């Protein structure tokens, strides 16, 4: 793998991390209830709603101490009716407007699998330590080649 590919790959991860630090709104999708629009293992970047919510919006909301990302199918006076795209029936509860945390803005396919993997010891080694070692070895090789290529200068006495 080329060094530029490694840097591009890690640049994407740093970008997602920066978005998370700024907005706190990057989520790893845990289930397939929103397939095919959003699949398990995808990462979604969310933003604050920029107006009234309407049918078709994909929202992340709090329900019984967990976050759920589903599509709004109906706006009611008492709240929102939601449904996962892959589910046959709408959710059996009404989501109060105040429970809505964010609106889905961007999906990054499969990145969630990688992020979950790097939380393990093996994943941390493969994703962080091993590439760092490879970069150090590559840079060392470049320095050695340059030293061997440049003419030796002898000190005049």
| Tens of pLDDT, residue by residue, the chain (157 residues) | 566 776 776 777 777 666 665 665 888 999 999 999 999 999 998 988 888 999 999 999 999 999 999 999 999 999 999 999 999 999 999 999 999 999 998 898 998 998 888 889 999 898 889 989 999 999 999 999 999 987 665 554 5
Sheet holding 66-76, edge to edge: 26-28, 43-47, 100-108, 58-63, 66-76, 79-83, 94-95
Whether 139 is covered by a domain: the verdict is no
The full length of the chain comes to 157
Structural domain including 13 reads 3-117
**Structure token pair of residue 58:** 């994909």
Q: Which CATH number does the domain housing residue 22 bear?
A: 2.10.109.10
CA distances from 81 to 39, 59, 150 (A): 21, 11, 71
Whether 8 is covered by a domain: the verdict is yes
Whether 15 is covered by a domain: the verdict is yes
Whether 18 is covered by a domain: the verdict is yes
Whether 123 is covered by a domain: the verdict is no
Whether 75 is covered by a domain: the verdict is yes
If one counts the domains in the chain, the total is: 1
Question: What is the bridge-based pairing of β-strands 79-83 and 94-95?
Answer: antiparallel
């Amino acid at each position: 793998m080329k060094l530029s590919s490694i840097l591009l790959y890690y640049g994407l991860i740093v970008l997602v991390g920066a978005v998370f630090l700024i907005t706190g709104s990057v989520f790893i999708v845990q289930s397939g209830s929103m397939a095919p629009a959003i699949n398990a293992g995808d990462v979604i970047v969310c933003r604050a709603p920029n107006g009234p919510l309407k049918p078709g919006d994909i929202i992340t909301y709090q329900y019984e101490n967990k976050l759920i990302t589903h599509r709004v199918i109906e706006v009611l006076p008492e709240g929102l009716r939601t449904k996962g795209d892959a589910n046959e029936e709408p959710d059996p509860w009404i989501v109060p407007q105040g429970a809505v945390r964010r609106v889905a803005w961007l999906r990054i396919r499969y990145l969630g699998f990688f992020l979950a993997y790097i939380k393990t010891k093996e994943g941390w080694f493969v994703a962080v330590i091993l590439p760092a070692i490879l970069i150090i070895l590559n840079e060392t090789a470049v320095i050695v080649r340059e030293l061997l290529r440049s003419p030796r200068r002898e000190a005049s006495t």
